[in-house]
């Protein structure tokens, strides 16, 4: 058993001054078989602590179902941190931001329009209580005062950037205490006077977030935290990327120099991120500050440890600073080995998306176009269908696409309405009775700002030449299930050799004779879609970049009988499955 307290000037571990030197690393962005290796690499950098968010929606994909298995086994992750001789900081939200879908708040909660998020509202707080009732029995026994690694637990997250409901914050703190959390509670906000005032409570320890000018930002924090240790809870040593923009990189030496000043000031720090990992599946978030910008699949973040865990030049710079500061000798760390380069000329099986739509959907009927929440499409894709007469063509107009709508007339592509481009209207060709179908992609829920919690799908009204279009059928597309069926050989017919991939379609490649090593799927010859490797949803790809590879963790790779499934939405110029030696970016920019 140990004690951890907030002293007048320092954190106190077992009564002795303790400087936290931590790194953020999210278990839900890493294959669980790689947790121990990633923790070991972080420790070799010189860190003494690992910080992690807890993503509520990752553990509770449906209300009343709370999962703690496999990649969701938080207790195992925290125990591995302890086994490595390190401590942990846990940030359970309920809102986490993190460039994660909806900031971690479950989409099923949004189906009730009366719910008011992140404030003292009974429906929301009831759901939060259910979450903490399931989560805290995992965290509480692993607190440092019970022999575990957990030093501190956060209340909410950067709340001052969103609201100032002090009653809400106190109720969250009470829930944590009543749920058995006895270690110190804290808040974090950007190093901004207004945000620190709005987001904190006098009885909770305040920390700040920033990525440069550390000494100046610590002075801002000290104005709001007159006594007690100073801590940067998120030292932004890199940044995230959005589709169609450059991959962000920052100067390793500049990061090291600023970090040195921060550590020499005596402040504690948590590197955000030490290792970012991957937004597998449909877990990426988005930002919307006037324009919708979905986050890419890779959460590389230009962190010291790259998406695949490999140490980078930034790792070397930061390691030197931290180990020198702590008086530790240098510790060499293995570099990335080139991944196998593979080429499978053509898919073994291809099936048109429409074939699956016609045979496998549970349609719902709605007079007007429903939202995704109304049809239970909490992530991924949906299809909307109606019949229209177009003797002279017509103008299709929607209130808003959330987030990308592919429009088809009698299964022929007409065009795309993309939220990021502001597309809301499209001319439909002339025809007699026409089946109008919309394939809609939720590209990631906004994770920061006032648009958190907005509905997805086709946002009405939907108009045809100015008249409301009625009589819709709509359904979620269970693409994970379809990919699993492709993998097991239950779907599809032998593919015809073509120069590229048709869209929309699902294709299967078989790969044998592999070693258990990380792989990097080259997506530069594809259009837009989703990929699975041996049933694991690798995430989204998009030809607009900057990401040109999808990371395949080594634990997924078998010697034989490997299956790659790709959902191609628009058509790709290359029918081959190609794997390359390492991650690739189409464009980069230095911040």
Q: Which CATH architecture does the domain made up of 368-470 adopt? A: Sandwich (2.60)
pLDDT in tens, 71-128: 999 999 999 999 999 999 999 999 999 999 999 999 999 889 899 999 999 999 999 9
Residue 96 phi/psi, 5-degree rounding, is -125, -10
pLDDT at 589: 82
pLDDT in tens, 126-180: 999 999 999 999 999 999 999 999 999 999 999 999 999 999 999 999 999 999 9
Among the options 158, 307, 437, 441, which is catalytic?
158
CATH (one of 3.40.640.10, 3.30.470.20, 3.40.50.620, 3.20.20.80) for 18-326: 3.20.20.80
pLDDT at 591: 67
Concatenating the DSSP letter of every residue in 488-499 gives: TT-S-EEPPP-S
Across the chain, mean pLDDT equals 97
Q: How far apart are CA 70 and CA 15, in angstroms?
A: 37
Give the rounded percent of residues in the chain with a pLDDT score beyond 70. 99
pLDDT of 499 > 90? The answer is: no
pLDDT at 462: 97
pLDDT of 546 > 80? The answer is: yes
pLDDT in tens, 26-48: 999 999 999 999 999 999 999 99
pLDDT in tens, 433-452: 999 999 999 999 999 999 99
DSSP 321: H
> Is there a shared CATH topology between the 342-351+479-590 domain and the 368-470 domain?
yes
Quickly count: other Cβ atoms within 10 Å of residue 56's Cβ: 27
Q: Is 158 a catalytic residue?
A: yes
Looking at the whole model, is its pTM more than 0.85? Answer: yes
User: Measured in Å, how far apart are the chain's first and last C-alpha atoms?
Assistant: 44
**Inter-helix orientation angle 252-264/214-224, to 10°:** 40
Q: Sorting pLDDT into bands at 50, 70 and 90, what band is 495?
A: low
pLDDT of 554 > 90? The answer is: yes
Distances (CA, A) of 397 to 237, 347, 394, 436: 43, 37, 10, 13
* Comparison of pLDDT for 588 and 137, the residue scoring more: 137
Superfamily (CATH) of domain 342-351+479-590 = Galactose-binding domain-like (2.60.120.260)
Quickly count: other Cβ atoms within 10 Å of residue 161's Cβ: 17
Cross-strand bridge partners of residue 50: 23, 88
Q: Is 156 a catalytic residue?
A: no
pLDDT of 590 > 80? The answer is: no
pLDDT of 496 > 70? The answer is: no
User: How are strands ordered across the β-sheet holding 394-402?
Assistant: 425-428, 394-402, 457-464, 467-468
Concatenating the DSSP letter of every residue in 449-504 gives: STTTT---EEEEEEEETTEEP--EEEEEE-HHHHHHHHHTT-S-EEPPP-SSB-SS
Lowest pLDDT segment from 250-259, 411-420, 498-507: 498-507
Q: Domains of the chain: which residue ranges?
A: 18-326, 342-351+479-590, 368-470
Among the options 234, 307, 491, 548, which is catalytic?
234
pLDDT at 565: 98
């Amino acid at each position: 058993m140990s004690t951890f307290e907030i002293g007048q000037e320092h954190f106190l571990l077992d009564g002795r001054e303790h400087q936290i030197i931590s790194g953020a690393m999210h278990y839900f962005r890493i294959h669980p078989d790689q947790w121990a290796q990633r923790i070991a690499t972080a420790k070799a950098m010189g860190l003494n602590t690992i910080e992690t968010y807890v993503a509520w929606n990752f553990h509770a994909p449906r209300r009343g179902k709370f999962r703690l298995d496999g990649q969701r086994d938080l207790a195992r992750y925290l125990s591995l941190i302890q086994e490595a001789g390190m401590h942990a900081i846990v940030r359970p939200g309920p809102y986490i931001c993190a460039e994660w879908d909806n900031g971690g708040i479950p989409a099923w909660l949004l189906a009730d329009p009366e719910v008011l998020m992140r404030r003292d509202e009974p429906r929301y707080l009831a759901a939060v209580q259910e979450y903490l009732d399931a989560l805290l029995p995992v965290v509480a026994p692993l607190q440092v005062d019970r022999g575990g690694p957990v030093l501190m637990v956060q209340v909410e997250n950067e709340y001052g950037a969103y609201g100032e409901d002090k009653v809400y914050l106190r109720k969250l703190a009470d829930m944590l205490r009543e749920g058995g959390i006895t270690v110190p509670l804290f808040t974090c906000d950007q190093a901004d006077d207004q945000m620190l005032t709005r987001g904190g409570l006098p009885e909770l320890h305040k920390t700040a977030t920033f990525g440069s000018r550390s000494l100046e930002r610590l002075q801002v924090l000290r104005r709001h935290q007159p006594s007690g240790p100073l801590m940067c809870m998120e030292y932004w040593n890199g940044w995230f990327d959005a589709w169609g923009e450059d991959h962000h990189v920052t100067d390793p030496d500049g990061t090291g120099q600023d970090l040195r000043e921060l550590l020499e000031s005596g402040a504690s720090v948590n590197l955000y991120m030490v290792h970012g990992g991957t937004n597998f599946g449909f877990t990426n978030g988005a930002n919307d500050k006037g324009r919708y910008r979905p986050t890419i699949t890779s959460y590389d973040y230009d962190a010291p440890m790259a998406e695949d865990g490999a140490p980078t030049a930034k790792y070397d710079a930061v390691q030197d600073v931290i180990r020198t500061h702590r008086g530790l000798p240098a510790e060499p760390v293995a570099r990335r080995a080139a991944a196998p380069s593979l080429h499978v000329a053509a898919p073994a099986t291809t099936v048109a998306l429409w074939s699956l739509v016609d045979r496998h959907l549970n349609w719902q009927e709605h007079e007007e176009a429903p939202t995704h929440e109304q049809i239970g499409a909490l992530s991924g894709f949906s299809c909307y269908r109606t019949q229209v007469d177009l003797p002279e063509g017509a103008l299709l107009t929607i209130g808003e696409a959330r987030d990308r709508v592919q429009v088809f007339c009698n299964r022929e592509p007409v065009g795309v309405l993309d939220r990021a481009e502001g597309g809301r209207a499209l001319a439909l060709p002339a025809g007699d009775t026409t089946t109008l179908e919309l394939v809609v992609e939720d590209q990631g829920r906004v994770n920061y700002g006032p648009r958190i919690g907005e509905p997805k799908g086709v946002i009405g009204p939907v108009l045809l030449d100015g008249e409301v279009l009625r009589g819709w059928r709509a359904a979620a597309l269970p693409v994970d299930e379809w990919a699993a069926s492709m993998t097991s050989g239950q779907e599809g017919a032998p593919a015809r050799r073509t120069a590229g991939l048709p869209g929309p379609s699902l294709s299967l490649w078989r790969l044998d004779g592999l070693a258990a090593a990380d792989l990097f799927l080259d997506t530069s010859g594809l259009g837009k879609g989703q990929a699975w490797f041996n049933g694991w949803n690798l995430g989204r790809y998009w030809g607009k970049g900057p990401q040109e590879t999808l990371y395949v963790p080594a634990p997924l790779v078998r010697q034989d009988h490997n299956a790659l499934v790709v959902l191609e939405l628009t058509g790709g110029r290359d029918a081959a499955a190609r794997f390359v030696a390492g991650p690739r970016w189409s464009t980069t920019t230095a911040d």
